[in-house]
Amino acid sequence: MHIAYIIGQLRKGGAEQQLFSLATHLQARITVIVMEQNHEDGYWVQPLRDHGIEVIELPRRVRFDVHRVLSLRRLLRTVRPDIVHIFADNAAALYGRIAALMLPRIPVVVGVRRYPDDDPCWLYALKRYLLNRSVAALVANSQSTADFLLRHRMTASQRIHHIPNGIEVARFRKPAQPAWPLGICEDWRGRQIVGSVTSLLPKKNPALYVQVARNVLAELPDVRFLHVGKGRLLAEVQQRAQAAGIADKMHFLGERHDIPTLLHQMSLFVMTSNSEGTPNAAMEAMAAGLPCVLTDTGDCAALVKDSVSGYVVPVGDEAALTDAVLRLLQDDALRKQFGRAAAAYIESYDIQGMARQYMAVYQQVQQSMLSLVPSYE
């Protein structure tokens, strides 16, 4: 089977990481088509090529380049895939959807990362009443998204599938003697460290993470806080930490490529997001044996069983987040118990299982097209 994945870019993000993991674990021929040629932020381009996967980057001349639709159509006719999978249903995916409409005998699968999202009303309506009618399958990475698609009749129910994100669980298991991460102050050794791994974007609400850190440090001044990830709010949250008087106890590390090493030095993991699907970062923290404190968005409550492997609190609830973090920091036995439960539960989210589920969807879609002869004319 030959699968062509279409994605807007290959930066170091959650959807892009999932594409890399899936493409490198499927027993299929893979072509990845990137809608923006951006070598500076194309983090996954070379790793994919190192695995023998073809990556084709389409240049963009202007912001709304309609010629890319025709270029993509010509490319698909040349590549001749059995299935086109538009991996993330964002604005860039609109080019892929339109191009695929011009080749009606190639089945199209669309990945939906979260709903409701930031789509303008006209695009939401266009998907529901036109674009989704030609889609062979919609794959949601969270049950909450699948439920939304069903409830709002975004397509026929039999075309909606829920496949949660997968991770390489073994990569995140804590070794007997974890290494000390580079760039972390030596005087942090032996202290309790609270960590978060997210992009610094409004939907992740990093300002709330700073507020929680301030509240916790007022009670437990020896605790330290880490944030890993980049984004346009970096300067703002650093200023908030400075204004709160905690800048010396809270480090913003930016983008890092040694996430397992960093996780292995944390005591617990926190996410203060306003919006999530199935967060990769929380899954990785659980695989590292960390209890998690998450906001109740997307499938966070499905990942973390409240009062079993961590705590799930209402979105934006500063007091509840603070209380949950303090409770775990002040109870070593409870923290370890929750961490063991988290590690045991996340075993079922291994990447191999995700790859098998996607292949089952592809085979179902392909079987439904057996009566049709693919045409690229």
Considering the domain architecture, whether residues 251 and 177 belong to the same structural domain is answered as yes
253 shares its domain with 316? yes
Looking at residue 53, its pLDDT comes to 96
Task: Give CA–CA dist 274/292, Å, rounded.
Answer: 16
DSSP for 135-202, written as a single string? -SEEEESSHHHHHHHHHTTSS-GGGEEE----B-HHHHSPPSSPPPPTTS-GGGTTS-EEEEE---SG
Element (H, E) at 242: helix 234-243
Q: Is residue 104 part of a domain?
A: yes
- The pTM of the full predicted model, rounded to 2 decimals, is 0.83
**Do 242 and 93 belong together in one domain?**
no
pLDDT at 376: 43
Pairing relationship of beta strands 108-112 and 83-86 according to DSSP bridges: parallel
In a domain, 175, yes or no: yes
Cα separation, 72 vs 103, in Å, equals: 11
Determine the pLDDT at residue 226. 97
Give residue 311's Cα distance to chain centre.
20
Domain that holds residue 205: 170-348
pLDDT the model gives residue 144: 87
Indicate if 140 and 192 belong to the same structural domain.
Answer: no
What is the number of domains present in the chain?
2
Q: Do residue 200 and residue 280 come from a single domain?
A: yes
Residues 264 and 289 in one domain: yes
The answer to the question of residue 373 being in a domain is no
Whether 142 maps to a domain, the answer reads yes
- 7/153 same-domain check: yes
Q: Which of 39, 35, 148 is nearest to 88 (CA)?
A: 35
Do 226 and 301 have their domain in common?
Answer: yes
| Residue 377, in any domain of the structure | no
DSSP assignment, residue 289?
Answer: T
Residue 376, in any domain of the structure: no
For the chain, list residues with pLDDT below 70: 37-41, 61-64, 115-119, 370-377
Q: Are residues 133 and 195 in the same domain?
A: no
Q: Are residues 34 and 153 in the same domain?
A: yes
Q: Are residues 176 and 294 in the same domain?
A: yes
What's 35's domain CATH number?
A: 3.40.50.2000
Encode pLDDT of 54-88 as tens digits.
Answer: 999 987 766 667 788 888 999 999 999 999 999 98
> Does some domain include residue 374?
no
Same domain membership, residue 247 and residue 148: no
Would you state the pLDDT for residue 101? 78
pLDDT at res. 84 = 94
